[in-house]
């Protein structure tokens, strides 16, 4: 009873409108999954439901994340705010759209690639060759529907063309957790 009371007391200056997701995550992370914590775990579930941390879009968390490739074929991390550009611990983002907004330097086709990496292995999730932007990377045809990333992976971008000096990607994403 005391532990869940302390949990609520640490949140009592917040309202649902404040969307205290980071604070909820911080308070939830050290809780062990054991029977003696059942009441506290139930409190965390209630707070998560009340603040819409239920696997659907958390209001006021949509954002456009960017990366700019300034060298041909270099891998550039799209920064979601956590360690090495991954989402922060406990956060999960759904990727809704990806667009290459501009490219400069060189001429001819550019090979655009977006990869997911866990730091050891990388997987290409979309690869497209096109001459001029904007390049809308198509979720239905080119990368997995409901692509989600968490603190275990980074999203990386590259653009390859002789003489390339810059290519910018924009990634529209929203938090699920």
Residues 6+ apart with CB under 8 A from 74: 158
Tell me whether residue 120 is in a domain.
Answer: yes
Same domain, yes or no: 80 and 27: no
pLDDT for res 94: 93
Question: Would the pLDDT of 166 be above 90?
Answer: yes
Same domain, yes or no: 67 and 46: no
Tell me whether residue 24 is in a domain.
Answer: yes
pLDDT for res 139: 65
pLDDT for res 84: 95
For range 166-174, the mean pLDDT: 95
The larger pLDDT score, comparing residue 59 to residue 63, is at 63
Residues 6+ apart with CB under 8 A from 52: 58, 59
Phi and psi at residue 46, to the nearest 5°: -60, -45
pLDDT for res 105: 95
Neighbours of 21 (CB within 10 A): 20
Alpha carbons 121 and 47: distance in angstroms, whole number: 36
Query: How sure is the predictor about 143, in pLDDT bands with cuts at 50, 70 and 90?
Result: low
In this structure, of 9-13, 65-69, 150-154, the range with the lowest mean pLDDT score is 9-13
pTM: 0.77
Query: How sure is the predictor about 1, in pLDDT bands with cuts at 50, 70 and 90?
Result: low
Phi and psi at residue 64, to the nearest 5°: -110, 115
Same domain, yes or no: 68 and 105: yes
Alpha carbons 100 and 110: distance in angstroms, whole number: 11
Tell me whether residue 119 is in a domain.
Answer: yes
Same domain, yes or no: 76 and 99: yes
Residues 6+ apart with CB under 8 A from 61: 19, 21, 174, 175
Mean pLDDT for the chain overall? 89
Same domain, yes or no: 30 and 88: no
Same domain, yes or no: 28 and 73: no
CATH code of the domain covering residue 105: 2.60.120
For range 31-49, the mean pLDDT: 90
99-124 pLDDT, tens digit each: 998 999 999 999 999 999 999 999 99
Question: Would the pLDDT of 29 be above 70?
Answer: yes
Alpha carbons 62 and 56: distance in angstroms, whole number: 12
Beta bridge partners of 102: 168
Structurally, the chain folds into a number of domains equal to 2
Tell me whether residue 19 is in a domain.
Answer: yes
Tell me whether residue 146 is in a domain.
Answer: yes
For range 140-163, the mean pLDDT: 87
Range of the domain at 35: 2-50
Tell me whether residue 14 is in a domain.
Answer: yes
């Amino acid at each position: 009873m005391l532990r869940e009371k302390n949990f609520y007391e640490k949140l009592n200056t917040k309202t649902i409108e404040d969307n205290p997701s980071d604070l909820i995550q911080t308070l939830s992370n050290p809780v062990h999954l054991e029977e003696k914590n059942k009441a506290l775990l139930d409190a965390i579930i209630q707070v998560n439901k009340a603040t819409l941390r239920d696997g659907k879009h958390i209001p006021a968390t949509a954002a456009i994340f960017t990366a700019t490739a300034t060298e041909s074929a270099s891998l550039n991390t799209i920064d979601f705010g956590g360690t090495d550009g991954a989402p922060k611990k406990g956060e999960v983002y759904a990727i809704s759209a990806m667009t290459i907004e501009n490219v400069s330097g060189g001429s001819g086709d550019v090979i655009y690639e977006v990869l997911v990496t866990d730091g050891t292995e990388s997987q290409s999730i979309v690869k497209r060759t096109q001459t001029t932007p904007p390049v809308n990377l198509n979720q239905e045809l080119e990368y997995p529907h409901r692509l989600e990333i968490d603190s275990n992976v980074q999203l990386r971008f590259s653009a390859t063309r002789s003489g390339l000096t810059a290519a910018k990607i924009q990634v529209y994403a929203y938090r699920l957790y």
